[in-house]
Structure 1
Amino acid sequence: MNFSTAHMDLSGASPASELGLSCLSFDHHSANFALLERIERHTVALTSALGTVHADAPGGAVILATCNRFEAYFDQAPGAPERALQEVAALSGISVAELASAARMLRGIDVAHHLFSVTSGLESMVVGEGEISGQVRRALSNARRAGATTPTLEQLFQRAAGVSKDVKRRTRVQTRGRSLVRLALFLAESRVGDWGGTRILLIGTGAYAAATLAALRDRGAAHIAVHSPSGRAETFAAARGVRAISPEDLESELAAADIVIACSTAQDPLIDVPLIERTVTPTARPYCTALIGRAPGGSATPFSVTTPPRPRLFIDLGMPRNIAPDAAQISGIELLDLDIVARHAGVEELSAEAEARKIASDAAQEFAAAQAERDTVPTVRALHEHVHAVLADELARLRGNPAASELLEPALRHFAGRLLHQPTLRIRELGRAGNADAADAAVRALFPVSDPDQHAA
């Protein structure tokens, strides 16, 4: 039997169009941190409400809420993102217009691509950070406990975990942050005579801060203090044997530091121009002392030769910026930021993220195709049941002749299997291409099969 599609109308179909997935997303790419903070205050209520926003449909929902992300993933819930937006507005007190301007609504394969990228750390403020994968896993667990998942959501989130592992195994994107830290310190070495005697102020307590501290210690740095705008400096410092700086002491520590390294995820600059200007010493310190002016039979007169002090180095690894860019214009201050570091990055560092994004994109395409193939299961089942029903009739007729039945039954069953093999493969291929309906129509036109929807129910 030739299951050619030459005479089938397969136009306009695609695997992506068959996915019933949708997503409402607020994150640091689309929304400012003030808005995200306002949403975060209502996370518990929103998670409960959005988990039932699909109650009138046989769908599901998974809510992902982090410090800089709030997302709701839906399955088989038409219009859910729009209704969810209204729910967020009602519970948070934020206007629909303000929320709509900061929201992204995704559907179909775009949902899979987005979640795979999120879980792999590609949408995080620190690209490649690994904490988000655990947060995604917990979001699925919470939805399971609430009875809000569907088979498709289960498969989507489980595949996202697999993609995250693939990205970690096949690329260096999760070491990208550490690579940039090492490169920044390498660029700073020409300004540092002795790391052991250099006074360093580290601002931040996240992934970049931990990587920076490790890299500094590898270079022999011993005088390191840490400040955190989030108030976590004490915990971070105690666990790592460095000195914590309170907000009240920040200005004096800035004045004393030879190098300031900022790597916080705060939205606005933590170190502005007025703050830096207050820490700049207006007079130069003596750089060396010489003995000159010796008179015959007399003693030398000490004479101090002063030179401008070596510029203090500010390294900004924050995303967004932690240090005001205009700081570079202040006399005695040298600013090294991510733009400068990236220009010195090697091909490997720059290509790691692109490679990881391709893995996520390819996985999303495969997920959509696999989901579309599952749509052909009722059709394949109906075709198999029809052929096996015909086979059963023939075997019943042969059972009147035991000798013939014993010889022919295995052969007929084998024949039925071979007869079904190629059509089954072709139906699944059509499904992966988004043409499950066309395959179903072809089977029902050729065979008196039952309605596949009865089997899917």
Structure 2
Amino acid sequence: MLLCFSSSHRTAEFDLLERLERHAPAVTAALAEHSELVSGSVVLATCNRFEAYLDIDEPLPAARAVSAEAVIDAVSVAAGIDADVLRASSTVYCDDAVAEHLFSVSSGLESVVVGEGEIAGQVRRALQAARTAGTVTGDLERVFQVASRTSRGVKNQTGIMTAGRSMVRLALELAESRVTDWTQVRVLLVGTGKYAGASLAALRDHGVTDVRVYSPTGRAAKFALSHDVAAVEADGLQHELASADLIVTCSAVTDHVITRDLLTAAIALPGSAERRLVIDLGLPRNVDPAVAELTGVELLDLETISIHAPVEELNAAADARELVDAAAAEFAAQNAEQAVTPALVALRSHVFGVLDAEIARARSRGDSSEQTEAALRHLAGVLLHTPSVRARELARNGDAQAFVDATSALFGLEVDDVPTTRALRAVDDETAAS
């Protein structure tokens, strides 16, 4: 059974998401320790969501609530967050709802800014990290692969990716009213990762030409060389804070890069800019929220930016939602088809067993030929085709048990009631390989 623990900007405060993101490695390790319950996991931690996609060993519907509580307790202990707070700030999805949610997330429909393009890559990297850690099961691999194909389809077939805007572009749009001439703005960019590259591109699109980059981890020189900007030395941060009109932070470090005391000292330097706008895109926060109390400082953080996120462009979002819903429905239908696999395997085994026995008797009497055997095997395949098609049709319509019962009644075959998804897929794989 697939299960997803989801805490996002829709259900939680950014402070809580920040704490979850900071403890993502501990949560991943804690889930791996529950091997009696969790057979696999993929953890997705972004600036506006924290999600754990899990493959749970217990498939029974009655166990869903128990499994969900166990997962919440594990996350609670690992992240140091009260379990009741997590329950009130999260949603748990089970079975087919997991796929539908993941497809929607990877396509940008659940983002603060609907259609933002970064999330698809973040989902892919989460899967790759889980592969490296050895926590991916076949069911998780399958649902994430379909999610990736779905997001590509949404990107290629709808306008949602161009209609939607990334977080940094939205932040710069909010900053428009504070900036007279972008070409005259001096920018300090804190961070050197992929988000920093996207931020720099957005700044240049607005006409910014004067950019300096600082890295808390010492990577400024390499980034500056590859992006044609000036690097800030480790001891030069305070001076650059004093000179900057706009400060954009997007580092992955867990401590505040810009503290109230540091910025206070920078403002006190001779020739310091009178006013400055700070855009904090980091999660955890790169900037101490207390800097907003300083004279001449305005702070835009993720929480503030999300409040101003635009209403989704209706046509593009509706088209994307239709594609996601169709993909989720097909995924659910394919899962449902697995419910008839044991009965089909039993039927095929019975028919071909009878056929092999008759051919063997014919051979013993000397009245069999290769052509006759080939014709009989072809006939058996033709006769089995319609029951196979009908079985999958029944399964897609939720009537898998009807085929199981019919197989038992007509041929006297003992077939268990609809088994677990994982067991069914294993049987189907063995059948395909034989």
**TM-score, length of structure 1 as denominator length:** 0.66
- Conservation of the 8 A alpha-carbon contact between 1:203 and 1:263: no
- Whichever residue aligns with residue 61 of structure 1, its letter is G
Q: CA contact under 8 A between 1:382 and 1:452: conserved in structure 2?
A: no
Q: CA deviation at 1:417?
A: 1.3
Displacement of 1:387: 1.5
Matched, 1:140 2:133: no
Q: Indicate if the aligned counterparts of 2:171 and 2:279 stay in contact, CA closer than 8 A.
A: no
Which of 90-99 and 103-112 deviates more? Answer: 90-99
Query: 2:46–2:122: 8 Å Cα contact kept in structure 1?
Result: no
Distance (Å, rounded) in 2 between the aligned partners of 1:271 and 1:257 = 20
Aligned counterpart, 1:376: 340
- Asked if 1:28 is matched to 2:6, the reply is no
Deviation, structure 1 residue 429: 1.6
Indicate conservation of the 8 Å contact 1:22/1:111, yes or no: yes
| 1:170 aligned to which of 145, 154, 157 | 157
Residue 321 of structure 1 aligns to a residue whose secondary structure is: helix
The 5-angstrom pairing of residues 311-326 of structure 1 reads 319-322=302-305
Instruction: Give the match's secondary structure for 1:66.
Output: strand
Q: Which residue of 1 aligns with 2:264?
A: none
Q: Could you say which residue in structure 2 is the equivalent of 1:93?
A: 80
Please tell me the residue identity of whatever aligns with 1:39: L
**Contact 1:203 1:261 survives alignment (8 Å):** no
Unaligned residue ranges in structure 1 (runs of 5+):
1-19, 281-313, 326-337
- Paired residue for 2:390? 426
The farther-off stretch of 267-276 and 96-105 is 267-276
2:138 matched residue in structure 1 = 151
Structure-2 change in CA distance of 1:168 and 1:257 (3 Å)? farther
Which runs of 5 or more structure 2 residues have no equivalent in the other structure? 246-271, 428-434
Offset from partner CA, 1:312-361 (integer Å, 9 cap, x none)? xx997x643259x9xxxxxxxxxxxx56xx58x9x6xx644443343333
- CA 1:66/1:275 → structure 2, altered by over 3 Å: closer, same or farther? closer
Looking at both structures, which has the greater relative contact order when contacts are Cα pairs under 8 Å and sequence separation is at least 6?
1
Q: Distance in 2 between matches of 1:119 and 1:84?
A: 22
Corresponding residue of 2:117: 128
Q: Is 2:67 the partner of 1:103?
A: no
Quote the Cα distance in structure 2 between the aligned partners of 1:94 and 1:406: 71
Listed as ranges, the matches of 1:374-413 within 5 Å are: 374-399=338-363, 401-403=365-367, 405=369, 408-413=372-377
Q: Equivalent residue of 1:320, what SS?
A: helix
Match in the other structure for 1:80: 67
**Equivalent position SS for 1:94:** coil
- Give yes or no for contact 1:63–1:73 (8 Å, CA) kept in 2: yes
CA distance in 2, matches of 1:438, 1:139: 42
Sort the Cα spacing of 1:419 and 1:274 in 2 relative to 1 into closer, same or farther, 3 A: closer
Relative distance call for 1:182 and 1:75 in structure 2 (3 A) is closer
**Contact in 2 for aligned 1:26/1:71 (Cα 8 Å):** no
The answer for the alignment partner of 1:264 in structure 2 is 281
Tell me whether 372-381 or 392-401 shows the greater mean CA deviation.
392-401
SS class of match (2:3): strand
Secondary structure of the equivalent of 1:451? coil
CA 437–51 in structure 1, closer or farther in 2 if over 3 Å, else same: farther
Q: 1:433 to 1:122 in 2, by over 3 A?
A: same
Give the counterpart of 1:444 among 393, 404, 408. Answer: 408
Q: Out of 295, 299, 307, which is 1:278 matched to?
A: 295
Q: Which has the higher helix share?
A: 2
Q: Which residue of 1 aligns with 2:259?
A: none
Aligned length: 377
1:12 alignment partner in structure 2: none
Q: Percent identity?
A: 32
Q: Distance in 1 between matches of 2:171 and 2:8?
A: 28
Write out aligned runs for 1:129-278 (5 A): 129=118, 130-142=120-132, 145=134, 148-175=135-162, 176-177=164-165, 181=169, 196=183, 198-201=184-187, 210-211=197-198, 213-218=200-205, 220-224=207-211, 234=220, 240=227, 241-242=229-230, 246=237, 250=241, 253-254=244-245, 256=273, 262=279, 264-265=281-282, 278=295
Match in the other structure for 2:258: none
**Counterpart residue identity of residue 320, structure 1:** E
| CA RMSD, 1 decimal | 4.5
Q: What secondary structure sits across from 1:399 in the alignment?
A: helix
Distance 2:169 2:101 in 1: 27
Cα contact 1:264–1:322 (8 A) shared by 2 = no
Give the CA deviation at 1:112: 0.8
Q: 1:34 to 1:381 in 2, by over 3 A?
A: same
Distance 1:173 1:237, change over 3 A: farther
3-state DSSP of counterpart to 2:42: strand
